[in-house]
Chain A
Amino acid sequence: MNKVLMQGNKIIGEAAIRAGCRFYAGYPITPQNEIPEYMAERLREVEGGVFIQSESEVAAIHMVIGASAAGARSMTSSSSPGISLKQEGISSLAACELPAVIVNMMRGGPGLGNISPSQGDYFQATRGGGHGDYRIIVLGPDSAQELADLTMDAFDLADRYRTPVMILADGMMGQMMEPVIFKTPKPRAYPESFIMKGAGAGKSKIIRGLILDPLDMEEHNWTLDRKYQVIARKETRHELFKADDAELILVAYGTGARIAKGAIKRLREQGLRAGLFRPITLWPFPTNELRDLAKKIENFLVFEMSTGQMVEDVRLAIQGRARIGFHGRPGGVVPTPVELTNVVMRKYDRKEGIIDHY
């Protein structure tokens, strides 16, 4: 298949269409407007495609609920403030065990914030985001190729586990162009029995999250939890970059990981053996894999475009087995690899290790 040069937002759209997404609803917000625009165009071309520009993000996610229940591979996308509005529906999707893909092209926050790339929504995404006891699968692509691959995977994961899946990227990932090859998607394997089509001649079906009896609700909670544990066991993904001989490991995801990779090249030119641990699934977080790494490496430095959110998962994983430093640039600031290189040099002492013990 051909390599094409495409913008991140459009890559997501194209990958979704190829994966069989036939329903999209969304509300404009920068920096992800190219997704609804692309979907508006492409869903006209494919058979059975439905595009709706909804009146709000709230409406969009509830349209997705309906379309998903009716059997369509469905997607919505937004950026931070709009994702806050979608949480009600995401919670419903989790409760009703309906598949859907939600894209968050993060921007600076809280509040209206700004439209620059940021990673401030990590907590919201990885802790479920809305009310109630649930998790969603969160994928953190760091390249155009991963935007394509993970978007396709997101639909498969959503179906397999009947759960919402979020692509968590940021304005830079959305705007950047890189060459990409679209893989051939797997055919959809989603049992007809889950689809609501009208009862026909048979028994009627109910899709609901309301379970008034606390004992029944508890059972539903544990059922969901068991599912989440299976996901955590089977679906965790991460990447190691120049970690084999590393004496210091940077931990970063998405755009942050790209900057970190740039910094690592520079650090190695200066003789510092730095490597990268990059979670690809942000939930489930690759806890065990990171813990294993901490058995042989003593120094970790977490880099995020936030004031420090993923760093808490890193601490939970490493459990005091190693020193953990932190560097954060919130607010939509995208630091250069040189800055991060300097930070590492400053915080890392060959004898003492990481100095700012976070």
Chain B
Amino acid sequence: MMKKVFGRPQSMKKNIFHYCAGCGHSIAHRLIAEVIDELDIRGITIGVPPAGCAVLAYNYFDIDMIEAQHGRGPATATGIKRILPDRVVFSYQGDGDLAAIGIAESFHAANRGENITVVFMNNAVYGMTGGQMAPTSIMGQKTTTSPAGRNNVLDGYPIQVSEIFSLLPGTAYIERCTVNSPASILKTRKAIRKAFQYQIDGLGFSLIEILSPCPTNWKMTPIESCRWIDEVMSKSFPLGVIKDLPAAAKGEQKKGGPRHDG
């Protein structure tokens, strides 16, 4: 008998993605579904998709999902999680959704340390509405609403959501990843898994930022897009673990042993 090495995760429906070729959303969806399968939490997971290109995420995930208005995902997720604390609740948000219209809901959910997970798809544009400037568009980036390139005088600076949120005592785990290569995809999967595991363990708010290619609005081929993330975008948004409170605490315990503070 042949061993199956690749198949559709159980937490995905048999629908074909509507996303553009080379789009990061479909990769991120799949990774989340794989993690849900792996942790065997399909039956207790509730997802909150955003307004944005991923608005139809519930057509792909075979889990309970409730749509949120633009930016309000973390508020809706808060309501669900507080009523059903033993469920795994995640909101899935774009950069416009999280860092512009929903910055208050996101920031405060993080600050309250809601025990939820946010998957933050940073593609440096408003994908769904046609490539307008996002709060995370990088300096000089040309978009339909920054035709001369993002200019700090007119437009301010790209918001480093992960770094800022990591300053909030309520956040437990924040990592910035990308999905532009097999290696980075595997890393992202691990990060998502850790975030969900932390939530299951009751450790608090986690956010996985994913630098996500949007070839359509970047006006690049998928391959150029992947390269652009490496060569340009990740210079403004450095990859890596930005905060891992539980791991830090564990490390401290191991390293320090009993403390003698003078």
Contacts and interface: CB of A to CB of B under 8 A. Distances in A.
Interface stretch (A195-203, A287-295, A336-344): A195-203
A129 to B, nearest CB: 15
Contact of A55 (B55, B65, B87, B104): B104
B167 interface: no
B67 A62 contact: no
Given A89-B72, A96-B66, A204-B64, 9 more contacts: A55-B105, A56-B104, A59-B104, A66-B48, A66-B76, A66-B80, A200-B44, A206-B58, A210-B56
Contacts of B42: 199
A198 B46 contact: yes
Interface stretch (A67-75, A276-284, A301-309): A67-75
A295 B207 CA distance: 65
Given A59-B75, A208-B58, A210-B55, A196 B69 contact: no
Interface residues of A, number: 41
A71 B84 CA distance: 9
Given A23-B83, A198-B43, A200-B43, A66 B67 contact: no
A342 B22 CA distance: 75
Nearest to A51: B82
Given A196-B80, A197-B84, A58 B66 contact: no
Nearest to B89: A66
Contacts of A25: 79
A196 B66 CA distance: 8
A67 B89 CA distance: 12
B43 A66 contact: no
Interface core residue of A22, A25, A70 (most chain B CB under 10 Å): A70
Contact of A63 (B43, B69, B79): B79
Nearest to A71: B83
B66 A69 contact: yes
23 contacts: A52-B82, A54-B108, A58-B72, A62-B72, A62-B75, A62-B79, A63-B75, A63-B82, A64-B79, A65-B68, A65-B76, A66-B76, A66-B78, A66-B82, A67-B80, A70-B83, A196-B64, A198-B64, A198-B84, A199-B42, A204-B61, A206-B64, A208-B67
A67 B83 contact: yes
A231 interface: no
Interface string B159-180: 0000000000000000000000
Interface of A: 22-23, 25, 48, 50, 52, 54-56, 58-60, 62-72, 74, 88-89, 92, 96, 196-201, 204-210
A59 B103 CA distance: 11
B63 interface: yes
Given A67-B80, A198-B46, A198-B87, A204 B62 contact: yes
Interface string B199-240: 000000000000000000000000000000000000000000
Contacts of A200: 43-44
Contacts of A204: 61-65
**Closest 9 A-B residue pairs measured CB to CB?**
A66-B79, A62-B75, A67-B79, A62-B72, A70-B83, A66-B76, A63-B79, A55-B108, A207-B66
B146 interface: no
Interface in B61-111: 61-69, 72, 75-84, 87-88, 104-105, 107-108
B62 A23 contact: no
Interface in B40-55: 42-46, 48, 55
Contact of B75 (A48, A66, A205): A66
